[in-house]
Structure 1
Amino acid sequence: MDQTLTELRTVNVIRYVTPLREGGSMPAIVEADDGFLYVIKFRGAGQGTNALIADLVGGELARALGLKVPELVFIHLDEGFGRSEADEEIQDLLKFSVGLNLGLHYLSGAITFDSTVTQLDPLLASKILWLDCLLTNIDRTCRNTNMLIWNKELWLIDPGASLYFHHNWSNWKEHILTPFALVKNHVLLKQASKLNEADVFCKQLLTTERIESIVALIPTDWLKDEPLFESKEAQRNAYTTFLLTRMQHSDIFIKEANDAREKLI
């Protein structure tokens, strides 16, 4: 697989189409100046730019593993764009989201993945679960799978609840070696019978250079001022350290997942 990572494209919002009111972050469908529709994740939403960082890093890591993810783009929102918006809540969201946001290509007509209807290849299910354990993604459950079926293929979306250590950097190093107990709630746990094979596969593709190049995509102004770090570059490097070190100790979360799976089946 090609390990070369290109920069994300940047597009501009030209039309607000409709809000997506699932969850608390209220993303929306917008039209951009390239003529395509995108689901925009707003920097002014509840979890701020941390959720955008998790979406960006999680999405591009999935893509590096050959998993299907809608194209991610940086999506610019001009000042004053929401002045004509009648809904005050949406107007405030647009106001606080001026600048660079994150968008993913809108998959028109996609349906939500249902694990009781669709059985995945065990290795594919294992790769997805492995990645979610690496990222500590708490939000791929039966209630909210964050997976879509589009053109008869499985697509991953919205890993914004990953990397939750970055909401409180004070103990981020301790999170590296956590077993990720919440894997017991993962929607694909029952189907993920080839975790050891997935571990070998994923580690071969997620090289140090690959991870560094993905983390380098994070816009500097998405990184908050954190007193724990001497600079934003040091904070950026902490993401790389987290991912690389956690991957080196993947046996910890693989054991947790396999133990949880044995209890389930």
Structure 2
Amino acid sequence: MASATPILSATGITMEFRGFVAVKDVTLSIREGTVHALIGPNGAGKTTVFNMLTKFLTPTRGRIEFRGRDITALKPAEVARLGLVRSFQISAVFPHLTVLDNVRVALQRPSRLATQFWRSSDVLSRLDDRALELIDAVNLSPYAHLPAVELSYGRKRALEIATTLALDPTMLLLDEPMAGMGHEDIGRISDLIRRIAKGRTILMVEHNLHVVEDLCDRVTVLARGEILADGSYDEVSADPRVREAYMGTEHE
């Protein structure tokens, strides 16, 4: 259930690159238990904001808080341990390992077995029950023993989400999860995101506005490095400034 309490917030975050201001004074609040979208036209600053929130970039100015804790200066691995995890960041898929082995490898980190590749298969097999639960959660059970390289693109993305879920995140940040997908895969991943959102908070950068309309409780629109609008999908899509900047061509 959504809470009025923000789980992740940014206050006045600004990013300058050698005098060029890519993002200026962005303030946003992600409420716990919601699915929140960050959208905008190309060059709007979405990726820069996303990278600041996930700590791949440190803001030139401003403050970022997660669960009331200042994380502005922390590194990505440090915020991941707090439960703020960026999908496709830590969860690399190994193409020639099976789906099951990929998830087992991902589970080694929270199980404190990471880097212990000398461990016997008997020790690692203790992770199988949880790995199979995660594989089932992303609808990949029929493919558990298939090498990842043989999966379709959409199922590879589902596997990446499974390996991210292995870190047991409180909040999941998805960077364009539908990029490059066909209609069938988009529907499959949308259903997956809807399921995994139960009990979690999700922030996603997404270009597919039909997906945003379908999945997201709240939408923040960026343009030229600043927030243009913030609200429900209906509210922001009705804003003439938003339609002019980004959405009009898709909804005419």
Bin the TM-score by the shorter chain.
under 0.3
TM-score with structure 1 setting the length: 0.27
Asked which structure has the greater RCO (Cα within 8 Å, sep 6+), the reply is 2
Higher strand share: 2
TM-score with structure 2 setting the length: 0.28
